Amino acid sequence: MHKRLFIAFSDLAILIALRDRAMTGYQLDNYLIKKLRIMVSPSTVYSTLASMERKGWIERITSKQRRAYILTEEGKKVVDTIDEIIEESKRFIEKLLT
């Protein structure tokens, strides 16, 4: 179930992971294993990164002979919007449950 959810929301998970710092594909893979406790194929991570780069949400940088990814200004706006949606969703669910 977690793996299916990740595939559906892989760009969201990666955007949130990149919120605080640049990461390589390998670091993202380890982050996902540690944070979500799921193993995802590296090809899934890299295809998501390529898609997000085409959308202008992230950009690739070279650091110590490794490719890392950082959020662009557009990517930061997407993360901010996601944060707002999460907060609205929490308030809505709280109202439903009380």
Provide, rounded to the nearest whole percent, the portion of the chain with pLDDT above 90: 53
Look up the pTM and report it.
0.79
Q: Using pLDDT thresholds of 50, 70 and 90, give the confidence band for residue 1.
A: low
For 49-76, b/e burial (b = at least 16 CB within 10 A) is beebeeeebbeeeeeeeeebbebbeebe
> H or E stretch including 41?
none
Q: Please compute the mean of the pLDDT values over residues 32-48 and round it to a whole number.
A: 84
Predicted local distance difference test score (pLDDT) of residue 19: 92
Compare 27 and 36 and report the one with higher pLDDT: 27
Residues 12-29: pLDDT tens digits? Answer: 889 999 998 999 999 998
**Tokens at residue 12, please?**
């969201």
> Which structural domains are found in the chain, ordered by start?
2-97 (1.10.10.10)
Predicted local distance difference test score (pLDDT) of residue 7: 66
